[in-house]
A and B are shown apart, each in its own frame.
Chain A
Amino acid sequence: MYAYDEIDRTLVNERVSEFRDQVKRRLSGELTEDEFKILRLQNGVYLQLHAYMFRVAIPYGTLATNQLRALAHVARKYDRGYGHFTTRQNIQFNWIKLAELPDALEDLAKVGIHAMQTSGNNMRNVTSDQWAGVAPGEIEDPRIWSELIRQHTTLHPEFSFLPRKFKIAITASDHDRAAIKIHDIGLRLIKNEKGETGFEVLVGGGLGRTPFIAKTIKHFVHGRDILSYIEAILRVYNQYGRRDNIYKARIKILVHELGIEKFSREVEDEWRQIRNSSLEIDDEVIEDIRSRFTYPSYEKLPHMPDELRQAAADPDFEAWRKNSVAPHKVQGYSIVTISLKPTGGPPGDATAEQMDALADLADKYSFGEIRVGHEQNLALPHVAKRDLPALWKALDKLGLATPNVNLITDIIACPGLDYCSLANARSIPIAQELTRRFANHELANLIGRLHINISGCINACGHHHVGHIGILGVEKNGEEVYQITIGGRADENAALGTLIGPGVKFDEVADVVEDIVEAYLALRERPEELFMDTVKRLGVEPFKERVYATR
Chain B
Amino acid sequence: MTSPLEQKKIKIAGPSVVTANRTWDGIVVYRTAAKGWSAELSEAAIVRNSDEARALLAESIADDVGAIGPYIAPVQIGEDGKILPGNLREQIRRTGVTIGQPAQV
Contact call A349/B98, Cβ cutoff below 8 A: no
Flag A7-24 by CB within 8 Å of B: 1 or 0 each: 000000000000000000
CA distance A545 to B89 in the complex (A): 33
Contact call B23/A418, Cβ cutoff below 8 A: no
Q: Report the minimum CB–CB distance from B64 to chain A (whole Å).
A: 5
> Hey, which chain A residues are within 8 Å of B68, CB to CB?
33, 47
CA distance A129 to B21 in the complex (A): 37
Q: A27-B65, A419-B97 are in contact. Are A51 and B24 (CB under 8 A)?
A: no
Residue of A nearest to B21 (CB): A47
Q: Report the minimum CB–CB distance from A400 to chain B (whole Å).
A: 12
Flag A420-449 by CB within 8 Å of B: 1 or 0 each: 010100101100100000000000000000
Q: A29-B64, A418-B92 are in contact. Are A50 and B27 (CB under 8 A)?
A: yes
Q: A33-B64, A96-B26, A426-B98 are in contact. Are A51 and B21 (CB under 8 A)?
A: yes
Chain A interface, number of residues (Cβ within 8 angstroms): 38
Residue of B nearest to A98 (CB): B24
Contact call A98/B26, Cβ cutoff below 8 A: yes
Flag B73-105 by CB within 8 Å of A: 1 or 0 each: 000000000000001110011001111011111
> Hey, which chain B residues are within 8 Å of A96, CB to CB?
26
Contact call B96/A346, Cβ cutoff below 8 A: no
Contact call A49/B93, Cβ cutoff below 8 A: yes
CA distance A37 to B10 in the complex (A): 24
Which of A27, A82, A421 interacts with B24 by CB under 8 Å? A27
Q: A27-B24, A98-B23, A418-B98 are in contact. Are A80 and B103 (CB under 8 A)?
A: yes
Contact call B25/A417, Cβ cutoff below 8 A: no
> Hey, which chain B residues are within 8 Å of A28, CB to CB?
65
Q: A29-B65, A49-B89, A49-B92 are in contact. Are A99 and B25 (CB under 8 A)?
A: yes
CA distance A96 to B21 in the complex (A): 12
Q: A81-B103, A98-B25, A417-B89 are in contact. Are A50 and B96 (CB under 8 A)?
A: yes
Q: Report the minimum CB–CB distance from B62 to chain A (whole Å).
A: 11
Contact call A52/B26, Cβ cutoff below 8 A: yes
Contact call B21/A418, Cβ cutoff below 8 A: no
Contact call B103/A351, Cβ cutoff below 8 A: yes
Contact call B102/A350, Cβ cutoff below 8 A: yes
CA distance A75 to B27 in the complex (A): 17
Q: A47-B69, A49-B28, A97-B24 are in contact. Are A82 and B102 (CB under 8 A)?
A: yes
Contact call B98/A429, Cβ cutoff below 8 A: yes
Q: A32-B64, A33-B69, A478-B87 are in contact. Are A51 and B26 (CB under 8 A)?
A: yes
Q: A47-B26, A97-B26, A417-B88 are in contact. Are A351 and B102 (CB under 8 A)?
A: yes
Judge if B34 is at the interface, Cβ distance under 8 Å. no
A residues 154-184 with Cβ under 8 Å of B? none
Judge if A270 is at the interface, Cβ distance under 8 Å. no
Residue of A nearest to B90 (CB): A49
> Hey, which chain A residues are within 8 Å of B105, CB to CB?
345
Q: Report the minimum CB–CB distance from B27 to chain A (whole Å).
A: 6
Flag A327-366 by CB within 8 Å of B: 1 or 0 each: 0000000000000000001100111100000000000000
Which of A29, A50, A52, A428 interacts with B93 by CB under 8 Å? A50
Judge if A480 is at the interface, Cβ distance under 8 Å. yes
B residues 1-51 with Cβ under 8 Å of A? 1, 21, 23-28
CA distance A327 to B70 in the complex (A): 53
Judge if A196 is at the interface, Cβ distance under 8 Å. no
Q: A49-B93, A50-B93 are in contact. Are A99 and B24 (CB under 8 A)?
A: yes
CA distance A47 to B25 in the complex (A): 10
Contact call B99/A428, Cβ cutoff below 8 A: yes
Judge if A26 is at the interface, Cβ distance under 8 Å. yes
CA distance A99 to B69 in the complex (A): 17
CA distance A278 to B89 in the complex (A): 52
CA distance A28 to B23 in the complex (A): 11
Residue of B nearest to A97 (CB): B25
Residue of B nearest to A75 (CB): B103
Contact call B102/A346, Cβ cutoff below 8 A: yes
Judge if A261 is at the interface, Cβ distance under 8 Å. no
Which of A26, A50, A81 interacts with B26 by CB under 8 Å? A50
> Hey, which chain B residues are within 8 Å of A418, CB to CB?
92, 97-99
CA distance A176 to B97 in the complex (A): 34
> Hey, which chain B residues are within 8 Å of A244, CB to CB?
none
Judge if A284 is at the interface, Cβ distance under 8 Å. no
Residue of A nearest to B100 (CB): A346
Contact call A432/B24, Cβ cutoff below 8 A: no
Residue of B nearest to A99 (CB): B24
> Hey, which chain A residues are within 8 Å of B93, CB to CB?
49-50
Q: Report the minimum CB–CB distance from B86 to chain A (whole Å).
A: 9
CA distance A98 to B103 in the complex (A): 22
> Hey, which chain B residues are within 8 Å of A52, CB to CB?
21, 25-26
Q: Report the minimum CB–CB distance from A293 to chain B (whole Å).
A: 32
CA distance A28 to B93 in the complex (A): 26
Contact call B103/A34, Cβ cutoff below 8 A: no
Q: Contacts A50-B93, A417-B92 given; 12 further ones with Cβ under 8 A?
A: A33-B68, A47-B21, A50-B97, A51-B25, A80-B103, A95-B26, A96-B26, A98-B23, A98-B24, A99-B24, A428-B97, A480-B88
A residues neighboring B (CB under 8 Å): 26-29, 32-34, 47, 49-52, 75, 80-82, 95-99, 345-346, 349-352, 417-419, 421, 423, 426, 428-429, 432, 478, 480
B residues neighboring A (CB under 8 Å): 1, 21, 23-28, 64-65, 68-69, 87-89, 92-93, 96-99, 101-105
Q: List 5 A-B contacts (CB under 8 A).
A: A33-B64, A82-B101, A417-B92, A429-B98, A480-B88
